[in-house]
Structure 1
């Protein structure tokens, strides 16, 4: 279908509606102490229960905080929401506690029993624990930013897309990403350093 609509890419309204996607951001960061070690403080009590809080929660580990923005059609508003939620998180940290700025984790302890799996629902904890049994524990410790995109309702309506068309379009986007992911990985995913014990095999 979309191979036959190449001329539409010269249509300003077509491009405008195509780019008017819904957007949500997720940013994970480790909580650490003031010397850069994995934090031993619990999830910040000032922001409520991590299971019920849909905007600030935990990911794989108890120290991996995750800020999740509301869905919006405005990139600027998504960044504003991310900034506000991040400030709430930072202001709720314990004294001497910081957010680790890198995607690669801080120095890890030699015994991973000292690191708690996230205190979340039983279903998620079971999934995390089974994951640890199958894979190297360190593989779960990097953090990062996730950008979630959805095709805009106006674009779907204007182009009379059905579920199959929408799925086809998402597949085209995914294939385009996979084709060029080496560039994204090179510029945004390469890490110059791994902290202590990340490659420990004990």
Structure 2
């Protein structure tokens, strides 16, 4: 839990630092998470980062049924779910101007971290999909959300990726199931994350190595 908590804090703090330098024109840039703009994607990230506040305020469900890898299963992100997620991000982006949205991101993730710190480490929460998850496992998904969408925001803003080392380790371990990446690929963690999440294309050789190693990428929705 402590390592995941640190990764969440580090990545949110870094994203907040970057966002303090953007203006309204930056926020209206398109992203590769179509049809979202930077503003709309940030609204989605803000909501995801703060999601644990309400989850921890609700009654705890029974025993945890899924882990972080299962949370990102393809079955969870059907076309209706994806459409609702996209619409929510666009709607929420209209509620605040840029400065207020950036400030609200900071408020949201700090409130979530306070809620995590106040909860028992073995707390179980219910996701928006209705599944029961251990708190630490759900927090891993939040690191993925902020870290991977941070790559999308960096690309849209024309910045170098700012993925923090702690978040990169959490995301990479989740993507590989803790297994080592085949040395033949020559990937660092950033490259692994970009390739495994579709932010960079696999070459034919890379795909063959990945398939031979039995690595299976996750599905992503939010």
Q: TM-score, normalised by structure 2?
A: 0.26
Higher radius of gyration, 1 or 2: 1
Q: TM-score, normalised by structure 1?
A: 0.28
Normalized per residue, which structure has more helix?
2
